[in-house]
Structure 1
Amino acid sequence: MIISTTSTLQGREIESYVGVVSGEAIMGANVVRDFLASVTDIIGGRSSAYESKLAEGREIALREMSEKARQLGANAVIGVDLDFETLREGMMMCIATGTAVIVK
């Protein structure tokens, strides 16, 4: 499965557009991670705990989106957009959306 943020694929011809596909991941952050992040905020630096959770959410959302495209018979997803949101205290969401297509 080819996944791209662009609307075209260089060297490939899009035969047909199958439809919009999306994948979602809602992740809960735990108390220990929140505490470590608050310490990092005070002393400065990057929060590897939250960075790894964001990466995990992104991978889950992309995998789910890709699987939905595959179920529709597509072999690529173009125009992919990733959106990260905070739902409430300790909960974050990642949504991946794109257009499922069939390419030669």
Structure 2
Amino acid sequence: MIVATTTGIEGFEISSYEGIVFGEVISGINLIKDMGAGLRNMFGGRAQGYENELLEARSKALEEMEFRAEGFGADAIVGVKMDYETLGSDNGMIMVTCSGTAVKLKSFT
């Protein structure tokens, strides 16, 4: 499945718009990752545990959105947007959401 932030796909014509699709993931950060990030905050450096958690959440949100587009019989998703939020009383959870328009494509050739 082609997933793009653009409104079209080069070399293809959108033949039909099937609907808006979403992917949402809420992921908790565990105590070990939180402690490691706290140390990085004090001494500098990258918070690898948080980065990996964000990467995993983003991948899962995109997979979920693609799965929903396949349910429409779509060939691609255009106009994709992503958003990140922290949740919980101690901001210990991250929410990754993505949305786009599921479309069917027709080749120009």
How far has the Cα of 1:53 moved from its partner? 0.4
Gaps of 5+ in 2: none
TM-score of the two chains, using structure 2 as the length reference: 0.93
- In the TM superposition, 1:78-89 aligns within 5 A as 78-88=78-88, 89=91
Match of 1:95 in 2: 97
Map Cα deviations across residues 72-98 of structure 1 (whole Å, 9 max, x no partner): 111100011110100122111000100
Runs of 4+ displaced beyond 3 Å: none
- In the TM superposition, 1:1-104 aligns within 5 A as 1-88=1-88, 89-104=91-106
Map Cα deviations across residues 41-70 of structure 1 (whole Å, 9 max, x no partner): 011111110000000000000000000000
TM-score of the two chains, using structure 1 as the length reference: 0.98
1:100 match: secondary structure: strand
1:13 match: secondary structure: strand
Output the aligned Cα RMSD. 0.6
Gaps of 5+ in 1: none
